[in-house]
Amino acid sequence: AQSVTQLGSHVSVSEGALVLLRCNYSSSVPPYLFWYVQYPNQGLQLLLKYTTGATLVKGINGFEAEFKKSETSFHLTKPSAHMSDAAEYFCAVRMNSGYSTLTFGKGTMLLVSP
Amino acid sequence: KAGVTQTPRYLIKTRGQQVTLSCSPISGHRSVSWYQQTPGQGLQFLFEYFSETQRNKGNFPGRFSGRQFSNSRSEMNVSTLELGDSALYLCASSLEGRAEAFFGQGTRLTVV
């Protein structure tokens, strides 16, 4: 069975600082990997995805993530945090199979201070 | 192109009642999945439908059920509501052959 671990339920950064949100997965084969963002009382918005090919993927709002198979990691980064980035971020995996089922991490709340 | 639409957005029900939630996927998407989000358990998979057939199911009691119609719209039903069923219920749709899923705004169910 696959699982996702997000280190840190809360991460605090100052505006303009680097954002690093950590995600490690457990899977017998390389899965598809995703990062989603959730604003209060909203659904999940897809930030970026990794399926195959280039291991550094770029997403919306200046976010990017790097797939490292040897470390089974898919950490999310953004060079410079903005106040509008404050939200909850979820890492998710999906097996490369016919099912669309996602397994999510517990989420990391990003707090951005001025 | 319209996104995933879930109705209603908010719902308050009493213990013991039943409830039906609706999800309209993105046009052309035939795969619809449902998730329950709670502060304690996080995001948990309920079930997935494709072309009117349930093809995957999470670890939830039989009180939770769903169906999908020929136009790919989906409903989920929860019978004999319990306080612990209070949650945000999220629906996601996917295009066959594509990895990503797109989520609706969710239905906030409160059981009192």
Rounded CA separation B47/B54 (Å): 7
Mean pLDDT, chain A, integer = 93
Find, among B87, B82, B36, the residue nearest to B59 by Cα: B36
Locate A101 and state its tokens.
């089922």
With a cut of 80, say whether residue A112 has pLDDT above it.
yes
Cβ A100–B33 below 8 Å, yes or no?
yes
Q: Which residues of B touch A99 (CB under 8 A)?
A: 48, 55-56
CA distance B106 to chain A (A): 6
Q: What is the DSSP letter of B30?
A: -
CB pairs under 8 A between A and B: 59
CA distance A27 to chain B (A): 16
With a cut of 90, say whether residue A79 has pLDDT above it.
yes
Do the beta carbons of residue A14 and residue A81 sit within 8 Å?
A: yes
Tens of pLDDT, residues B10-28: 999 999 999 999 999 999 9
With a cut of 90, say whether residue B97 has pLDDT above it.
no
Mean pLDDT, chain B, integer = 96
Locate B5 and state its tokens.
């639409």
User: In DSSP terms, which residues pair with A73 in a beta bridge?
Assistant: A24, A68
Cβ A46–B35 below 8 Å, yes or no?
no
A99 pLDDT tier (thresholds 50, 70, 90): confident
Mean pLDDT for B75-90 is: 98
Do the beta carbons of residue A73 and residue A32 sit within 8 Å?
A: no
Find, among B89, B112, B96, the residue nearest to B7 by Cα: B89
Q: What is the DSSP letter of B25?
A: P
* B98 → chain A, closest CA residue: A100
Find, among A83, A96, A13, A90, the residue nearest to A48 by Cα: A90
What is residue A100's predicted lDDT score, i.e. its pLDDT?
A: 80
Tens of pLDDT, residues A15-67: 999 999 999 999 777 789 999 999 998 999 999 999 988 889 999 999 999 99
Q: Is A51 on the interface with B (CB under 8 A)?
A: yes
Rounded CA separation B85/B88 (Å): 9
Kindly give, in sequence order, each residue whose CB lies less than 8 Å from that of residue A112, ignoring residues fewer than 6 positions away.
A12, A13, A14, A15, A81, A82, A83, A85, A86
What is residue A72's predicted lDDT score, i.e. its pLDDT?
A: 92
What is residue A24's predicted lDDT score, i.e. its pLDDT?
A: 96
Buried b (16+ CB within 10 A) or exposed e, A91-104: bbbbbeeebbbbbb
Do the beta carbons of residue A92 and residue A33 sit within 8 Å?
A: yes
Q: Which of A42, A99, A107 sits opposite B55 (nearest CB)?
A: A99
Find, among B9, B88, B84, the residue nearest to B42 by Cα: B88
Q: Which residues of A touch B42 (CB under 8 A)?
A: 104-107
Q: Which of A44, A46, A101 sits opposite B90 (nearest CB)?
A: A44
What is residue B98's predicted lDDT score, i.e. its pLDDT?
A: 87
Q: Which of A49, A90, A94 sits opposite B43 (nearest CB)?
A: A90
